Structure 1
Amino acid sequence: MSSLDNYQARVVTTVDGPSGRSTVAFDGPTIHRAATPTFTVADVWQIDSVPPAVTAENTLTAELALDPPDGGVLVRMVSFPPDAEWQGSDAYADAMNAIGGGDSHHADEEIAGLHATDTVDVCTVVEGELYAVLQDSEVLLRVGDSLVQRGTKHAWSNRTDRPATIVATMISATR
């Protein structure tokens, strides 16, 4: 069981046209849920450009993609199993390929799972603990801790025996 099974609802608000009052427009599951041997992904919301209109609709498509659209933002939850369940195999590269991120993966590096995206990501741990691993350092993140990941090569390492979950707001960026 993925720890994302605890996070299934996506509630979207709107303004009711005739009354002008706030209301719930959608209450249901997240749009995308992709389980791979390495992690589980649940996409919550995507917009194609910023700033969006407050009435902008979700632009997620049926196909899961690693990055938000150019100029856009993607909010994603990711659950990582313990490292012992996947390290030493091709599972990470297979998982990156499954979500369209095969070209972001750096298999020639010594760090398992090292990858980079053209995004600025604000990642907050909501369950468990996770190491953010960089090429020359690492930092332990616990529940409530946030990392601002600015397009650098990085990997995630769960050195516990339980899943860890983050919420990542991924903002399209340029180099």
Structure 2
Amino acid sequence: MSSLENYQARVVTTGSTADGRSTVVADANTTTRAATPTFSVADVWQVDAVPPAVDAADTLNGTVALDPPKGGVLVRMVSFPPDAEWQASGGYEEAMSAIGGADSHQGDSEIVGLHATDTVDVCTVVEGELVAVLQDSEVVLRVGDSLVQRGTKHAWSNRTDRPATIVATMISATR
């Protein structure tokens, strides 16, 4: 069984010195994360409004939420264990609860984890293979593939025997 409880994401942030030279202003693991033994979310960067100032401070507050702030953007890394390790045991519900999304499920009992958010998400696979499951189709995503998820009902499935990781840039949206 995979153990993603201790999964961390390193974030290096640039800025400028007093005389305007580019420099590293922060280099640390993200502190805004949610993890269960089989599921991990690490929020990397968030701003409350776009366009942000180039020197806008990160607005993460240590608590993972399902969606970015209204009008904002959130960059997140999500690691999914193989389905066999977590979906049959209610792991999807536990994971969604850990990120404040317990009420986001859409009640479609035929698709485990089906949910929707008021966001446009650009999701890129950086490790493994993941299936984006939609109500009438699904698509296999491999390393380097991106999915633009535009607020539709969807779920994620990892049908392999290894964890899969995506980077999702979540943009607040309206319907």
Q: Normalising by the residue count of structure 2, what TM-score does the alignment of the two structures yield? A: 0.93
Query: Which amino acid in 1 is paired with 2:106?
Result: H
List, as ranges, runs of 4+ consecutive aligned residues in structure 1 with deviation greater than 6 Å.
none
Alignment match, 2:126: 126
- 1:100-111 equivalent positions in 2, closer than 5 A: 100-111=100-111
CA deviations 1:65-108 (Å, max 9, x no partner) are 01000000000000000000112232211221121111211244
User: Aligned letter for 1:39?
Assistant: F
What does 1:27-106 correspond to in 2, within 5 Å? 27-106=27-106
Cα distance in 2 for residues equivalent to 1:137 and 1:3: 31
Once the 2 structures are TM-superposed, how far is the Cα of residue 34 of structure 1 from its aligned partner? 1.5
Tell me how far apart the structure 2 counterparts of residues 157 and 163 of structure 1 sit (CA, whole Å): 11
**One-letter code aligned to 1:85:** E
What's 2:158 paired with? 158
Partners of 2:90 and 2:77 in 1: how far apart?
Answer: 22
> 1:2 aligns to what?
4
Which residue in 2 is equivalent to 1:12? Answer: 13
Determine helix, strand or coil for the equivalent of 1:104: coil
Residues 40/103 of structure 1: CA separation in 2 closer, same or farther (3 Å cut): same
Aligned counterparts of 2:79 and 2:60: Cα–Cα separation in 1: 20
Q: 5+ residue gaps in structure 1? A: none
3-state secondary structure, aligned to 2:95: helix
Q: Secondary structure at the match of 1:113?
A: coil
- The alpha-carbon deviation at position 4 of structure 1 amounts to 7.9
Once the 2 structures are TM-superposed, how far is the Cα of residue 31 of structure 1 from its aligned partner? 2.6
Does the CA-based 8 Å contact 2:4-2:37 persist in structure 1?
A: no
Work out the CA distance in 1 between the residues paired with 2:5 and 2:11: 16
| 3-state SS, counterpart of residue 65 of structure 1 | coil
Instruction: Specify whether residues 4 and 36 from structure 1 end up closer, same or farther in structure 2 by C-alpha distance, changes over 3 A only.
Output: closer
- Note the aligned Cα RMSD (angstroms): 1.6
User: Residues 3 and 164 of structure 1 are in contact (CA less than 8 Å); yes or no, is this contact kept in structure 2?
Assistant: no
Task: State the 1:3 CA deviation.
Answer: 9.7
Take 2:121 and 2:6, find their aligned partners in 1: how far apart are those partners?
19
What percent identity do the matched residue pairs reach?
74
C-alpha distance 156-124 of structure 1, shift in aligned 2 (>3 A): same
Moved more, 122-131 or 80-89: 80-89
Unaligned runs of 5+ in 2: none
Q: CA deviation at 1:33?
A: 2.3
Q: Could you state the TM-score of these two structures normalised by the residue count of structure 1?
A: 0.93
Q: Is the 8 Å Cα contact of residues 5 and 37 (structure 2) preserved in structure 1?
A: no
